[in-house]
Chain A
Amino acid sequence: MINLQNIQWKIHLAEGATPNPHEWFKSFGTWIPDSPEVFVDVADYSHVEDGPVIFLSGHNVAYSLDGAGRRLGLLYERRQPADGSNAEKLLESFTSTLQHAALLEADASFTAKPDFVAGDIKFIVNNRGIAPNNDETFATLKPELEKLFDKVYGPNAYTLTRDQDKRQRFTVHVKANTWVSVNAALKSLA
């Protein structure tokens, strides 16, 4: 049994997206005073590759425009211990990720609206101590993930693939068989 902690979700931007880091920096900056979350500051890492681009530091949760794996997307990262069952933690964190993606899609300050693909997701356990990246962890967590994604995409409407690189954290690529919008995914979880 794994007590899931340090959950990360990455919801990818559509292929070919070229987000303007400065605009993301500004947008994240507005979350600090306006959100019920405890956010602290925004950091610009647009000068490096294959990692965070713009990072919004927070107490319970951090968000970033993330370019790790050379795919851009919104990364949700739980930083403090979370309570509840694994199913509850997965649902709460994934819903929060989608809600914040929707927030960004609705942000009129972007020159080009961020276009998220809610059917192209990465699930990461950012804690090698509790979830080694192996088949055993996958076997343990797969049913919990299926329970969530059956609800989001429908049974047999998606695939779950574990990242086989042993040096990476436990990572599962969730790919829906059809294109799914953020709002549609949120609606299915309502």
Chain B
Amino acid sequence: MSKELYTSDGAKYWRETLSEHIIPEWRKNVDEFEADIALKKMGKIDFKLFAETRLRMGAYGQRYDNGHRYDGKVVRQIPFPEEFKGPDTYWDAPGMQRIKLPWGGLNAEQMELFADLAEEYSDGICHITTRQAIQLHYIHIENCPSMYRRLAALGITTREACGNAVRNVSADPMAGISPADVFDVTPYANAVFEFLLGHPDAQDFGRKFKIALSGNKDEAAGLVNIHDLGLIAKIKDGKRGFEFYVGGGLGAVPYAAHLFSDFVTEDEILPLAQAVCRVYARLGEKKKRHRARIKFLVADMGFENFRDTVIAERAKLTPDPRWSDYLKNIDRFQEKPSRPAGSGIAKTGNAEFDFWVKTNVKPQAQAGYAGVIVTLPLGDITSNQMRELADIVRKYIPDTVRTVVEQNLLLRWVSENDLPALYADLKAIGLNLPGAESILDVTACPGTDTCKLGVSSSRGLAGELRKQLAEKSTHLDEAVRKLRIKVSGCFNSCSHHHIADIGFYGISRNVGGYVVPHFQMVLGGQFTHNGGTFGIGVGGIASKAVPAVVEKITGMYANSRQPDENFHDWVDRTGKATIMQSVQDVMEVPAYEKDKSYYVDWGDVREYSVKDKGIGECAGEVVTLTDFGLKAADRELFEGQLRYEAGDIVSAGARAYQAMVFAAQALLKLNDVDISGNPDVVMERFTKEFFDTGLFNDPFAGPKFAQYYFQGHTHRGVGLDKEKTSLFLHESQLFVEAAHSCYARMSMAGTSTTAA
């Protein structure tokens, strides 16, 4: 096959210019991928196989790549040419490219490259993700090889940025400079990345595998608690090592990581991680995607059994010199400042600058230096800004930039004396936004803007919250200012909504025959202590009502908190029922005829749904009964959550199950208003009419939520311990939300009366 077949002039230029500057293994990856593109275009590779290949290189699909787009009135076909790059994914549809940045490390030259790539292949925007990667959107698949070569020439690979593999190895961006750190985990994070990248023992997972490292336990640091595998720095008897955690994860149902060992020596972390990977690859679920993360394997095996299996696996490993070789070069990660140490951060009297210092400047462990957070609204930075920021980096710091999970950039080793000049330079390029790590700095996943899974507009809501909160920023109560808000477009928790003080995830609700964008509110999570506590869903709120609800809740917190009481404790003390009761007046969704704005999501101009034309007046009564039943499910679930918090585990489990029954029964009422409430009857009919027919299947998650109901039906919430009850409450929440979504989908499709 002639290479010219798959080479444009531009692609040819980058291949010829850069190939010799790329690590041979990485060059091979790119060459093979480029050949796969050519073979796919010639019809010699199956599109499913090609899909897995591109995913492993971080090339994702993007919203509307199935060629369908709802324009506010009807779903229209986008007339892409008939060629596919994956199941139901058009070849020419714009896609997203995720680019891994191990431990978030970035230098000025790489920043300039990202600026160039965003201009040439994307839309001029670099988007920082919640796992320290950078994403570019609207990419054409045929531009990917050139992009990969240009990245690889500067030491960046996209390999395993997606797919069932070890994803970006993240670490606390303040690693090594945080006053709280035990030691700098950067060299260890890099070693884990290099060791597991393409490792044969990490190629056969059922799902993705995320790893994080933290330098300390108390801060948010690397958020070890929510990772499949995590390490927290520790010194024991004068020796460096780590607390070793396994089995955490957010997703739809959050699991806290288990402490596997309270001390693993630095030369033992790689073999132990390898053993974990081997056990996960061998015993982890492969067919049922929704049970395939390692957290489910740990739960299914039992933690002790899992640990014993890993330890036995570790004992069988053939020694690999790489396990400890990296320790010889650990000094290469030592950072040296480029400017003299400063002499303290004094208030200047310039209110704007002083507020920025208060929110965006973090003193380092090293006297005279500070880490400066460059706040990026919604995680976005333009190509020109990125290029100019690279200039600033060269001027003030030793090329030491890190991406931050809160979608910002951190400049390390800024001399305190340079802060006023740095601020002025950042202001000149529009990157002097204050409010980092505060309620103003709302984190959001891409949501309905570009993600195929998005239900509601997370970026639209986050942007609106940012705008409204920024207007009040200087008057915000100090305790309120410290809160974190995180918004996900769906239940998958890409924004980390479970560990926010106030989290949201996208759902939809049927209101009077219209589908209305909503968010489930999750209260009481904690970002600190490595993402130490998960919040609990308290109720669905119309998207347009969310800002008013946030204002009301934060106002209550400011007014009724006890001295030094944090938000988590305040929520516990006040009670979620009281909090929700107090916001009822701003939660009501006005009728469509009265205020159409509620029926259009934030950041959009299209009506979110159309009136269900398939339902007449008689059917309207049926809808009302379904609404009523779903509301009963919501209420039952909420009661269950309150019982759980009160320590009544038995009642909490039973109510979580009953909520599922109510939700299933509500759907069945669409066809049979006299449906029995007997759980066995409901299960049988639900299985027959909604599961077997595929009606209940989530468009993206498939039968996942129905499986929660099936599992719940076997134990009915009885005999569960505290941890399992907590998980069951989350599963019940997801099932109830899925019932709402199913109802909304059927309403939009006009199939409410054809469920049987």
Contacts and interface: CB of A to CB of B under 8 A. Distances in A.
A52 B80 contact: no
Nearest to B388: A50
Contact of A130 (B13, B92, B606): B13
Given A69-B384, A129-B13, A129-B14, A48 B377 contact: yes
Contacts of B384: 50-51, 68-69
Contact of A33 (B71, B388, B429): B71
Interface string A40-66: 110111011111100101010010101
A52 B124 contact: yes
A40 B112 contact: no
B92 A55 contact: no
A87 to B, nearest CB: 18
A29 interface: yes
A38 interface: yes
Interface residues of B, number: 48
Contacts of B286: none
Interface residues of A, number: 39
B120 A40 contact: no
A6 interface: yes
B383 A51 contact: yes
Interface string B1-27: 000000011111110000000000000
Contacts of A43: 123, 137-138, 449-450
B59 interface: no
B46 to A, nearest CB: 24
B119 interface: yes
B630 interface: no
B69 A32 contact: yes
A26 interface: yes
**Interface class of chain B by DSSP:** mixed
A79 interface: yes
A97 interface: no
Given A167-B112, A169-B120, A5 B9 contact: yes
A129 B9 contact: yes
B429 A127 contact: no
Contacts of A3: 9
B594 to A, nearest CB: 22
A57 B605 contact: no
B12, B63, B603 interface centre (most CB from chain A within 10 Å): B603
A38 B140 CA distance: 14
A128 B120 contact: yes
Contacts of A94: none
B446 to A, nearest CB: 10
A129 B381 contact: no
Nearest to B76: A33
Contact of B125 (A40, A52, A79): A52
Contact of A29 (B8, B13, B140, B606): B606
B287 to A, nearest CB: 34
A186 B44 CA distance: 46
B116 interface: yes
A50 B14 contact: no
A149 interface: no
A148 to B, nearest CB: 21
A69 B382 CA distance: 11
Contacts, number: 115
Contacts of A69: 384
Given A3-B9, A33-B76, A38-B79, A52 B429 contact: no
Contact of A25 (B71, B388, B466, B605): B605
Contacts of B124: 51-52, 55, 66, 68
A62 B125 contact: no
B78 A40 contact: yes
Given A48-B125, A50-B429, A127-B120, A41 B382 contact: no
Contacts of B69: 32, 40-41
Nearest to A81: B8
B425 interface: no
Nearest to A127: B10
Interface string A155-186: 00000000000010100000000000000000
A51 B125 contact: yes
A51 B377 contact: no
Contacts of B450: 43
Contact of B382 (A25, A44, A52, A57): A52
B13 A49 contact: no
Given A41-B64, A48-B125, A52-B125, A167 B387 contact: yes
B86 interface: no
A69 B690 CA distance: 55
Interface in B337-385: 377-378, 380-385
A40 B80 CA distance: 10
A25 B124 CA distance: 17
A69 B380 CA distance: 17
A69 B69 CA distance: 33
B294 interface: no
Interface in A132-149: none
A127 B385 CA distance: 19
Contacts of B198: none
A52 B94 CA distance: 17
Contact of B385 (A32, A50, A81, A167): A50
Q: Which of A50, A69, A130, A167 has the most CB of B within 10 A?
A: A50
Interface string B37-69: 000000000000000000000000001100001
Nearest to B74: A33
Contact of A47 (B13, B116, B377, B383): B377
A130 B9 contact: yes
A126 B143 CA distance: 13
Nearest to A23: B605
A25 B603 CA distance: 9
A41 B94 CA distance: 10
A48 B10 CA distance: 29
Contacts of A80: 92, 140
Contact of B119 (A32, A79, A126): A126
Nearest to B8: A81
A88 B449 CA distance: 36
Contacts of A25: 605
A47 B125 CA distance: 11
Contacts of B13: 129-130
Given A49-B430, A126-B120, A38 B80 contact: yes
Nearest to A132: B13
A128 B557 CA distance: 54
Given A33-B76, A52-B123, A128-B10, 9 more contacts: A5-B9, A6-B120, A40-B94, A41-B63, A50-B384, A55-B138, A126-B120, A129-B9, A129-B10
5 contacts: A22-B605, A43-B450, A48-B125, A129-B13, A169-B119
Interface of B: 8-14, 63-64, 69, 71, 76, 78-80, 92-94, 112, 116, 119-120, 123-125, 137-138, 140, 146, 377-378, 380-385, 387-388, 429-430, 449-450, 463, 466, 603, 605-606
Q: Which 4 A-B pairs have the closest CB atoms?
A: A51-B382, A129-B10, A49-B430, A129-B13
